[in-house]
């Protein structure tokens, strides 16, 4: 996949304090409950873009209404993190041989933007803006500064939810990202330099864009692409339509230099709302999974499956005991609709599934041997059941890390026939030895791993780790041996 997205020697340039390019190859769930009561004074029915001359004549679009009603709902996010000496060096060398430097820990400061979504102080930003931060401060557009509490964060969608102790705050209402049309005008509102909020304008260049994190981490992928100018520090800012409604959270740019060059990307609010609701209610995201590995149909696939058109989503693997397996989905089936909504690409399917939670029912329409079929399924969570997972119930991590099985394309790219990718690393054994998000685990205690469950089983429920082999993001293969 690296070759696909790094063609032309393009470098990924990012908006916030740390790297965040996202392509999530697993299918996730979402629902649409609003996070707060509607107390904004914005009169949506009167909000509109209009022509500077007569309404029926041609002329430039006026963005003043949307700008005036959103700049006060965007904040500056400032983070502080203490970095230990040599923390950015080779973590494995430091673990086995110790840190030989005598320098003191240093403070690293980061910054980004955030969007107020309720009058009582809930704020959305990017996970990569606040990840690993020891303190988070928020400065409002009126220059008031507050210490922010991290309610929850989700590395997979790159969304984090903050809370400040304040009342009667201006906020931005949710819009509907699914109603966006190509060529529609949008505004990017951010506070990158703590100089009060700034506004840039552009059009929707594409929807459902799929990109890959440089470390190969699976991500939710369904970006809104715009040509609105974004630069360092805009991460976590608002993408709004001409009615002043939130349609996305700005996340990254794609450029040679790391600065704006015409391609900016935002996480659609259809995904953001679900993640925020889950973080607020449960402290972690409730991911509904179909239980398949998939890819976009290509010309060769269409010929092989006798398809009339090159579109749809090809099933490359069906996970045992997953929702799709229970519903009778098989390898080489081509998914064309989800709950009656046409889906032609992986990102379109992910966005639809992203509205559901474990336990939700849905229909899948697929092609098999040229015949269209529809089946019902009940979506499950990462543990393989339909229960809601809360923080006090524990999670499915092993050694402090979470994983996802590699898809067929990923294994082909890496030239391996098994493996799982590390999708999240928290406190635990893996963090201690320097394993990071994006690493691919090949074996645990001398045995091949093909699924996240294998790590738990081969390590005796996370109690024994004698050896591990893995692939680093740069392609280096390491085998580590540990004492008894």
Contact 381, 321 (CB under 8 A): no
Catalytic option among 158, 213, 360, 454: 158
**Core vs surface per residue 120-142: b (16+ CB within 10 A) or e:** bbbbbbbbbbbbebeebbbbbbe
369 annotated active-site:
no
Catalytic option among 72, 128, 264, 270: 128
The end-to-end CA distance of the chain, in Å, is 38
Half-sphere exposure of 23 (CA within 13 A, CB side): 18
Q: Which two tokens stand for residue 393?
A: 């119930």
158 annotated active-site:
yes
Catalytic option among 113, 177, 235, 397: 235
- Note the Cα 3 to chain centre separation in Å: 21
Q: For residue 241, what are the CA distances in angstroms to 3, 47, 59, 97?
A: 34, 10, 18, 54
Q: Which two tokens stand for residue 199?
A: 């506004």
Q: Which two tokens stand for residue 471?
A: 């692939």
Contact 240, 186 (CB under 8 A): yes
Per DSSP, 323 falls in state: H
Q: Is 455 helix (H, G, I), strand (E, B) or coil?
A: helix
Stretch (H or E) spanning 57: none
- C-alpha triplet 29, 31, 37: angle, nearest 5°: 150
CA distance 249 to 239: 6
Report the candidate in 386, 418, 217 with the shortest Cα–Cα distance to residue 317: 418
**Residues assigned a catalytic role:** 128, 158, 235
């Amino acid at each position: 996949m690296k070759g696909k997205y790094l063609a032309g020697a393009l470098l990924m340039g990012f908006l916030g304090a740390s790297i965040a390019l996202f392509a999530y190859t697993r299918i996730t769930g979402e629902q649409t409950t609003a996070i707060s009561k509607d107390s904004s004074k914005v009169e949506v029915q009167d909000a509109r873009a209009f022509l500077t001359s007569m309404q029926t004549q041609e002329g430039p679009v006026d963005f003043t209404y949307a700008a005036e009603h959103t700049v006060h709902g965007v904040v500056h996010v400032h983070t502080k993190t203490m970095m230990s000496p040599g923390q950015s060096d080779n973590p494995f060398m430091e673990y086995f041989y110790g840190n030989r430097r005598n320098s003191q820990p240093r403070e690293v400061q980061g910054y980004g933007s955030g969007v107020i979504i309720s009058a009582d102080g809930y704020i959305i930003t990017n996970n990569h803006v606040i990840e690993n931060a020891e303190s988070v401060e928020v400065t409002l557009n009126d220059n008031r500064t507050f210490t922010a509490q991290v309610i929850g964060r989700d590395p997979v969608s790159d969304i984090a939810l903050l809370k400040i102790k304040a009342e009667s705050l201006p906020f931005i209402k949710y819009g509907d990202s699914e109603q966006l049309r190509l060529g529609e005008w949008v505004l990017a509102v951010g506070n990158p330099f703590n100089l009060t909020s700034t506004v840039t304008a552009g059009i929707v260049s594409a929807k459902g864009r799929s990109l890959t994190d440089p470390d190969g981490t699976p991500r939710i992928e369904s970006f809104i692409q715009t040509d609105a100018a974004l630069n360092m520090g805009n991460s976590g800012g608002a993408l709004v339509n001409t009615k002043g409604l939130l349609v996305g959270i700005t996340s990254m740019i794609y450029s040679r230099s790391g600065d704006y060059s015409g391609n900016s990307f935002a996480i659609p609010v259809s995904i953001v709302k679900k993640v925020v609701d889950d973080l607020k209610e449960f402290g972690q995201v409730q991911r509904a999974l179909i239980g398949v590995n998939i890819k976009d149909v290509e010309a060769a696939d269409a010929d092989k499956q006798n398809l009339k058109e090159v579109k749809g989503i090809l099933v490359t693997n069906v996970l045992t005991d997953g929702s799709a397996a229970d519903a009778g989905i098989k390898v080489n089936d081509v998914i064309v609709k989800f709950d009656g909504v046409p889906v032609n690409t992986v990102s379109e399917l992910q966005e639809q599934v992203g509205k559901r939670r474990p336990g939700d029912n849905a229909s899948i329409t697929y092609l098999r041997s040229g015949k269209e079929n529809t089946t019902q399924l009940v979506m499950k969570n990462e543990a393989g059941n339909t229960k809601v997972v809360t923080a006090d119930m524990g999670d499915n991590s092993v050694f402090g890390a979470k994983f996802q099985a590699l898809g067929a394309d990923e294994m082909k790219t890496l030239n391996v026939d098994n493996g799982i990718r590390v999708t999240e690393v928290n406190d635990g054994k893996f963090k201690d030895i320097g394993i990071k998000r994006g690493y691919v685990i090949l074996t645990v205690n001398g045995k091949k791993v093909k699924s996240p469950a294998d790590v738990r089983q081969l390590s005796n429920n996370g109690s024994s780790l004698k050896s591990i082999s893995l692939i680093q993001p740069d392609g280096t293969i390491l085998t580590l041996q540990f004492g008894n």
